[in-house]
Structure 1
Amino acid sequence: MNKLKYHIKVLIVLLIIMGGFSHVICAQQGMQYTQYMYDGSLINPAYAGADEALSISLLHRDQWSGLEGAPQSQTFSAHSLFKKPQLGTGLFIHRESIGVHQNIQAATNLAYHLPVGYHKTLSFGIKAGMLNVRSDYQSLQNGNPDPSVNDEIFSGTDFNAGFGFYYRSKRFEAGYSIPSIINKTINVNDSIVLDPINHNHLLFSQYHIPLGNNFILSPAFLFKYFQGTPLSYDLNFLTTYKGVLTAGVSYRKQESVDFLIRFNLSPQFQVAYAYDYPIGNVSRLAQASNEIMLRYIFKFNYDNVNSPQ
């Protein structure tokens, strides 16, 4: 009974904090990833600690390679688990540049993992940190400054937060998150207001199907809703061979067909690459995108691993 009371108290605290976030009116437009299924903390703070060991990920994305001013991003994610009281903590740093604009986000993740059955866990997570937005219009003026622009470089910083829910068992996982929230627009001077924020809802699910002794098929989907834009989704089909090689394809609605491959060079070290081939109207304006990911899990006993992540 004391253990049950303890779990209830922790959940109440987290729900109160999440309730406070619900009054926040704006959320970030969203970071673009193709390999989010390998490290769920990229899109959901409730995943922090789910690997039951210290996990470090480095990701570089070159959106529309070769196109001047196209988005580029780098992400660092590290998280671990404290088994008593089943708390996951993590650090998240993301940098993104688009033309003259640059966003830098630094945040910490906190997740509580509640056992709900044999090898079944329901997690609740929150994120808190800072978001800096910087625009360098000087680079556009080519020596002919616009008299209507008082400053050539604008910068603003504000508090940023997010939350999520995540369920996992040995074969199934699902999560819902609003991974980034900000409480107001950023005023960079008297005449310029940057509003890079919109509501951003993500719903992810994946199922692992053993095919004999050597293969695991992992179909998955990610639904994405950004305020003011139509509902979007990713459909993923991955196959893992002997826990060493993973390959698959993903379809991003009316945007791209993505090809993914991952090598487990050791039980701890993973190298992954994704190639996004644009389709539809996007293909007329954009070029292919490239994404590389390095991941290390400081875990040397895999007897209790719940999924082939």
Structure 2
Amino acid sequence: TDRYDDIKESTVSDRLHYYVIGGYVFNLTDNLKFKPAILGKIVSGAPVTVDFSANFLIQEVVTIGAAYRYEDAVSALAGFQITKSLFAGYSYDYTITDLNKYNDGSHEIIIRFQLLPKPSRIKSPRFF
């Protein structure tokens, strides 16, 4: 979709975004899970970006992890499963490009609330 802005005399185009994601949950011990993942983002006219992440889930309550966006940024994450339906966490993202001269990184607060209970009869590590 093209849009025209009379004030700036410019045209803006909407572009389709494509995402490819994959990951797996490894049960290292009864109380420790390892969750590596990869995310690819494709937008017409922009470079492809790829994120690699690795999270650890400790006793189904504490999550800690790190991520790397290819040639762009690194990030760290920590969070807690407060109740079965409520997760809270914090992450910090730091760019490793020349933009870090102008940006000290981004702080993110994470709140995830699950409205519907997970079905207990289906066990799938697909959504994590």
TM-score, normalised to structure 2, is: 0.84
Long gaps (5+) in structure 1: 1-183
Match of 2:84 in 1: 267
Matched-pair contact (CA < 8 Å) for 1:273–1:290: yes
Matched-pair contact (CA < 8 Å) for 1:204–1:222: yes
Per-residue CA deviation, residues 142-196 of structure 1 (Å, 9 max, x unaligned), is: xxxxxxxxxxxxxxxxxxxxxxxxxxxxxxxxxxxxxxxxxx2122338724415
Match of 2:104 in 1: 287
Match of 1:240 in 2: 57
**Among candidates 210, 216, 230, match of residue 27 of structure 2:** 210
1:246 is paired with a residue whose SS is strand
TM-score, normalised to structure 1, is: 0.37
Match of 1:306 in 2: 124
Structure 1 residues 301 and 201: CA distance shift in structure 2, 3 A: closer
2-structure distance, mates of 1:228, 1:204: 21
2:100 is paired with a residue whose SS is helix
Structure 1 residues 232 and 298: CA distance shift in structure 2, 3 A: closer
2-structure distance, mates of 1:270, 1:190: 44
Q: Flag the structure with larger Rg.
A: 1
Structure 1 residues 191 and 272: CA distance shift in structure 2, 3 A: closer
Matched-pair contact (CA < 8 Å) for 1:274–1:291: yes
2:53 is paired with a residue whose SS is strand
Matched-pair contact (CA < 8 Å) for 1:255–1:282: no
1:286 is paired with a residue whose SS is coil
Question: How far is 1:225 from its partner?
Answer: 1.7
Higher helix share: 1
1-structure distance, mates of 2:116, 2:72: 37
Higher strand share: 2
**Among candidates 35, 38, 54, match of residue 221 of structure 1:** 38
CA RMSD of aligned residues (A): 2.2
Higher relative contact order (CA 8 A, sep 6+): 1
1-structure distance, mates of 2:41, 2:51: 8
2:104 is paired with a residue whose SS is coil
1:195 is paired with a residue whose SS is strand
Match of 1:17 in 2: none
Counterpart residue type for residue 262 of structure 1: G
